[in-house]
Structure 1
């Protein structure tokens, strides 16, 4: 059983995958897309779902610091609904507050250049989203 974590942005989607036991999250890639050509995005996600035998997806849900959902949260909800419909597997929304900020700090601490950070920030945010989901689920067991 593997779980996929997605950080849905306006032009990119960061992708992370869990190990088979559901303990750790690893970044896979950042998928670039254009709004009017989302079929290419869904095709790539479908390839990854098959390759990694994914049976659940976690999509980051943007909220502000007090927990209010932003306009971007509406887009993430729509994306999650489309993913659920397209791939017929469970999709959960997960609070992604401050994951991009945390990802940025991790990459800066790793002395990564600004250009390189821009290329991998969404993938790293997806890792943080998925890892927090995995940790929470493990604590509940």
Structure 2
């Protein structure tokens, strides 16, 4: 199985998730404060090295009608920059409603979403990565030759 990091890229924070060695379960790892590009890249580089990560799985915020809006285009640009800096391929996952799902999980745990924003980001990243793992497993069941991520280039961005 491939080792992946799931990222929920926000303006202030980045939720980070990893998967177990079997590639079955995604777990929130940490939340990074986003103050500069280096404030993201350096801790990610350490996680990538420690976990032998081979692909970045990044949530892409489609609009509710399934279009690529302004925010999604910003995320694509940032994802490409991260891909080049970290020398890793990127795969995008539709992240619509992942933060809402994460908030609902907190409410079920009787925790206040407004007091646990960093936890929401980690949980959202885990949801993004879990979607990718589940989807990948389904693709592998249908075919044994599936590529691992795409190198970031103009044609790898979702139109």
Q: Normalising to structure 1: TM-score of the pair?
A: 0.93
Q: Name the structure where strand makes up a greater proportion of residues.
A: 1
Q: CA RMSD of the aligned region, Å? A: 1.1
Instruction: Compute the displacement of 1:115 (Å).
Output: 4.4
Structure 1: which 5+ runs fail to align? none
Give runs of ≥4 in structure 1 deviating > 6 Å: none
2:139 is aligned to 140
3-state DSSP of counterpart to 1:128: helix
2:149 is aligned to none
Over alpha carbons, which structure has the higher Rg? 2
Maintained 8 Å contact 2:113/2:120: no
Maintained 8 Å contact 2:15/2:118: no
Residue correspondence of structure 1 range 3-42 to structure 2 within 5 A: 3-34=4-35, 37-42=36-41
Structure 2: which 5+ runs fail to align? 141-159
Instruction: Compute the displacement of 1:133 (Å).
Output: 0.6
Q: Normalising to structure 2: TM-score of the pair?
A: 0.83
Rounded Cα–Cα distance in structure 2 between residues aligned with 1:98 and 1:119:
16
